[in-house]
Amino acid sequence: MRDAYIVTSVRTPGCRRGKGAFKDTRPEDLLVHILNTAMDKTANLEKKDVDDIMIGCSFPEAEQGLNIGRVANQIAGFPVSVSGATVNRFCSSGLEAISLASLRVMAGWSEVTIGGGVESMTFVPMGGNLPRPHPEHTIQHADLYASMGITAENVANRYNVSREDQDAFAYESQMKAVKAQKEGLYTELVPTPAAKYTLQADGTYTREDHLQDFDDGVRDTTTKEGLAKLRAVFAVNGSVTAGNSSQTTDGAAASVIMSEAMVKKLGVKPVAKLKFYTTAGCEPDEMGVGPAYAIPKLLSLAGLSVKDIGLWEINEAFASQALYCIRTLGLEDSMDKINIHGGAIALGHPLGCTGAKLCATLLANMQARGVKYGVESMCIGGGMGAAALFELCE
């Protein structure tokens, strides 16, 4: 197989569902902006040279339906010859899209592809607008449709992840993000137009746009005491709160992937190679343990051990499951290598975008620190984990 080189990897800010800067910005607009920015940042690449664009989305319906991977690429001005697809594996959709786009290059089927993700949790709520579980099979497979928050409670209860530990983890996530924001360390983040519609007295709306250049869920006012006061939201006497859960967020991200021949032809400097990607299933009612299965499977494929990995992005769907995975994988001594600029508890988890967003973050951090191997992983609704290994290019 050939190598697939990621030459550009960028993301929009993540902004709070319904309350944040992108609450009036349609998902197509977020995606169009990030696709065009990824193109602009890739020297000498013309839109006609891109073979296919694969976009992760967890709830591909309504405003982000109708194959947003194709719709957005046409709005973005790619020629009609550039095809587009929408990819869904819930929370790993963006990473799945990057891996599929990379595989096309590895197989020799494409020279240049784009993999990315988008989710507006404002426009399309988690669960979709009209969930319709199968009426007979739901009885036997109720866990497949369980609230993600309940699965986080299950992990906390079954594996003894205390409320105190969840809150301490959430506090660290917020503080790392506050520091990174202050120091301007999100080099993968691109300022993104945000629309604001205001209702006028005559019933019409006015629209104003501004450039949003920061993740607006980060709370520099977070304290351990404040987190401890929050009530559990998913279960009576539970431990999972708004403070130790990932935030529901709007955002988009994209990576440009190409063959070695194309890298040479365009004279671009690649950032990293996607070396391996894998997924693993687990019990749906504790879906958060997914990375504890996917990461060992990934490392075994690669012939590496956790000690070989210089940086980790392990999605913080919930503090309970992230902590469980970190403990099970024996990574407690490596906290300074995990989610170094904060995770989804502070920065948000725009479902289908997250895999592509974490790729952009991981690659930027691997470059900044000169780290050879980085791993990205996340749990997935329905009971799965995904994990990918990236290798920095010299």
Question: Which residues are the active-site residues?
Answer: 91, 349, 379
Q: Report the alpha-carbon distance of residue 315 to residue 388 in Å, rounded.
A: 12
Amino acid found at 361: T
Least Cβ distance, residue 344 to ligand COA (angstroms): 8
| Site for ligand COA contains 11 (CB under 6 A) | no
Q: Report the alpha-carbon distance of residue 7 to residue 13 in Å, rounded.
A: 20
Residue closer to ligand COA (CB basis): 248 or 255: 248
Pick from 41, 219, 265, 275: which binds ligand COA (CB under 6 A)?
Answer: 219
Structure tokens at 21: 């800067």
Residue closer to ligand COA (CB basis): 51 or 165: 165
* Angle (deg, nearest 10), helices 27-40 and 68-75: 60
As a residue count, the chain comes to 394
Least Cβ distance, residue 340 to ligand COA (angstroms): 19
Give the residue closest to ligand COA by C-beta: 148
Q: Please identify, among the stretches 2-10, 240-248, 256-264, 301-309, the one whose residues bind ligand COA according to the rule CB under 6 A.
A: 240-248
Number of chain positions touching ligand COA (CB under 6 A): 20
Residue closer to ligand COA (CB basis): 287 or 389: 287
Structure tokens at 293: 């299965």
Residue closer to ligand COA (CB basis): 116 or 385: 385
Residue closer to ligand COA (CB basis): 23 or 273: 23
Q: How far is CA 204 from CA 193, 199, 273, in A?
A: 22, 6, 50
Cβ atoms 365, 388 nearer than 8 A:
no
Query: What residues from 287 to 346 belong to the interface with ligand COA (CB under 6 A)?
Result: 317
Pick from 4, 57, 76, 91: which binds ligand COA (CB under 6 A)?
Answer: 91
Least Cβ distance, residue 223 to ligand COA (angstroms): 7
Q: Report the alpha-carbon distance of residue 221 to residue 235 in Å, rounded.
A: 26
The secondary structure of residue 111, as a DSSP letter, is: S
Phi, psi (degrees; rounded to nearest 5) at 365 = -75, -35
Q: Report the alpha-carbon distance of residue 114 to residue 359 in Å, rounded.
A: 13
- The H or E element spanning position 373 is strand 373-380
Q: Please identify, among the stretches 4-12, 79-87, 153-161, 238-246, the one whose residues bind ligand COA according to the rule CB under 6 A.
A: 238-246
Question: What residues are paired with 374 via a beta bridge?
Answer: 311, 390
Binding interface with ligand COA (CB under 6 A): 91, 148-149, 174, 219, 222, 226-227, 230, 233, 242-243, 245-248, 317, 349, 379, 381
